[in-house]
Structures are given as structure tokens and as C-alpha cells.
Chain A
Amino acid sequence: MSEPTQAELDQISANDDEFMLRRRRHGDPGIVGLNLTAMMDVMTILLVYLIKVFSDAPQNITLNDDLRPPASTAPDNIVPAVRVMISAGAISVDDKTVLQVKGGEVVPTDPKNKYGPLSGALQKRVDDIRAISQRTHGPGFDGILMVVADEDTPYGLLADVLSQAGRAQFTSYRLTVRHK
């Protein structure tokens, strides 16, 4: 594309001057500052939406390579409850590690009572909930256990954990899965 000649540039400049002159004659002050109100509205709505999405996320479950629940079509939403997590490296009760896991098997701290720390932690949690609900006249212990397990966890290990939970008087198990 060829560059404009001097005559063409003069013509454009003259047109611009005429345009500005016409605007001033009609009392139009032109652009004096950017109106941010509309942008603020959009951003506030976006912020509220994102905060809502963020707060709707279930209990703080940090997923990683060692803890990746299986995908499932299960339709139920997550109900807050006592949480047992079985990752590739550890078993934890409400984010407190109670047992180490290696190759899909528990590393026993006490060979006579392999799952002792787990059953102790679950029982303590149940006792705490009961004590709190007694003091606050709350709803009490509902017996629900939320199980977050890695997809590669052997079923034998899962069954052992559920069996220990049963001894600690948990009666309802809810398996946490990734929504498919």
C-alpha cells in the first residue's frame, strides 16, 4: 500500500478539524475520562460468581498423584463427615496421618495390632464428636464416614479400613469419587 501524499494528509487534517469544530458547536465535550462504572459492574458480578463457585467446592480435599479418587457416575453430593483418606503413601483421619502405606499394604508400627493407630484415631474422633454434641446439645454422632481413596488402592486395604471403622461405630460409608 502506497503512503499518503501531503495533499491527502492535509485533507484528513482539515476533516478532523471540521469534525471537532462541529462537536464543540453542539456542546459535546468529547471524551474527558474513561467511565469505569460499567467495567466495575462486570468485575463485581464476575468476582461474586467466582467466590460462590469456590465456596461451593466440597471440603478441602487436596488431590495429587498419590490420592486420585476413581471416576464414577454416582449422583450424590458430598455430605460433610469424618474423613478417612487412603492415598498411595498413607492413611489419614481428618488430615492427620495415622498409618504409612507402601505398595498397597500398611507398614505396621505394631505387628500385633496392625491397624491399632487407625482404630484409635477413629474412636477418638467419635468420642470427641459425642463430647462436643453433649456440651453444645448438638445433633450428635451420625455414624457417617467419608472415604477418600486412591483409585489404585487394593480392595483388601479398603475393606480393612472399613472394617476398622465399623468397630469404631461408623455405620454409613460414603465413597468419594470424581464426577464422570
Chain B
Amino acid sequence: MAGGGGEGELNLVPYLDIMLNLIMFLLVVTAYIVELREAPVLVPTLTGDNGPGPVDPDKKGYLSVVVTQRALSIASSKEGVAPVELLRKGGVLPYRDLTQVLRQFKDSGTVEDTLQVLADPAIPYSEVVATMDAARTDGKTALFPGIQLALALP
């Protein structure tokens, strides 16, 4: 070490400088890291097995939720089940009401675990994702873990 004593000690100061700069850089960068997750979705298959076919009254029905500019509409493929319409409140879709209605359907035991979500083409993606969130779980237990995204309104 230039001008240092005879003990030959390692000069840690430059190393500390680098470490300090690195830590500051990483601290700043990690503050901007947004935690991302994934929502898996199913899409309709083109195998030809999904045709309407003869209606079996004992078979469970499929639920579908349609997101429109006006409301959320819930309908079952099972005969005799009346569709439910939840109107927007102050421009916001009633996601909590949707969860409650879906819970009732689920508890009735007449519907499959897969739910179909459809939306008007002008609906923002965030509202579709929020609808999927409301249908996936009620905060305590799972409702419809399998969500099928329909690509066009019927």
C-alpha cells in the first residue's frame, strides 16, 4: 500500500464504495419493481364436442357471465334457471353482488366448476379481469377456479 504501514492491510475503502453504490442502485430499482402474477384462462376448443346436443336434466349446467356497458348478466345453461342481471352502480360494475350470486349458484350444486366469461368488445380489459377475480373466489373459499374466456358474444 503506497505510503502505508508495514502491516500490509487490505484497503477496503474502494470495495466499500462499490458496494455502497451497488446497494443504493438496487434499492432504488427494487422500489420500482411491480409484482406481476398470472391469471390462467381457458379458451373454447374446436374439437366439436361442445355442441349443444340433447339436454340432460340431471347433468350440471354451465354458468356464463356477460359483461356489457349496462350490466353483468349471469345465465345458466340449465333449463328453468332464470338469468340474473346486475346493473352498474355509478358506472361501476357490482363485483361484490356478482360474487354473492355466484356463491348461491355454486352452493345449489347445479353448476359445473368452469365459468364462461364473455364481454362486449368495447369493455376495458380491466373490467374483464375484475369480473374474473370476483368469480374466482369469494375471499374465503374458491368459487370458479376454471374460467373460460369466450372470444365473441354469441
Residues of A near any B CB (own CB < 8 A): 36, 39-40, 43-44, 46-47, 50-51, 53-54, 57-58, 61, 63, 69-79, 146, 149-159, 162-163, 166, 171-180
Contacts and interface: CB of A to CB of B under 8 A. Distances in A.
Contact of B122 (A51, A61, A75, A154): A154
Interface in B129-154: 129-130, 132-133, 136-137, 149, 151-152
Given A153-B125, A155-B125, A179 B26 contact: no
Contact of A151 (B15, B26, B35, B125): B125
Contacts of A43: 16, 19-20, 23
Given A47-B19, A69-B36, 17 more contacts: A36-B12, A40-B12, A40-B19, A43-B23, A46-B23, A50-B30, A74-B37, A149-B125, A151-B126, A159-B121, A159-B149, A159-B151, A172-B40, A173-B40, A175-B38, A175-B129, A177-B129
A151 B12 CA distance: 49
B41 A175 contact: yes
A75 B145 CA distance: 11
A140 B125 CA distance: 31
B128 interface: yes
Contacts of B35: 178-179
Most B CB within 10 A of own CB, among A63, A69, A152, A162: A69
B26 A79 contact: no
A47 B125 contact: no
A94 B22 CA distance: 29
B21 to A, nearest CB: 11
A39 B125 contact: no
Most A CB within 10 A of own CB, among B20, B39, B136: B39
Contacts of A36: 12, 16
Contacts of A61: 36
A74 B125 contact: no
A171 B126 CA distance: 23
A71 B12 CA distance: 45
Contacts of A71: 126, 129
Contacts of B43: 162, 166, 171, 173
Contacts of B19: 40, 43-44, 47
7 contacts: A43-B19, A72-B130, A77-B38, A146-B38, A154-B123, A155-B119, A179-B36
A69 to B, nearest CB: 7
B1 interface: no
The 10 closest A-B pairs by CB, nearest first: A156-B121, A74-B39, A50-B26, A70-B126, A151-B126, A179-B35, A155-B119, A159-B151, A70-B129, A153-B125
Contact of A50 (B27, B39, B126, B130): B27
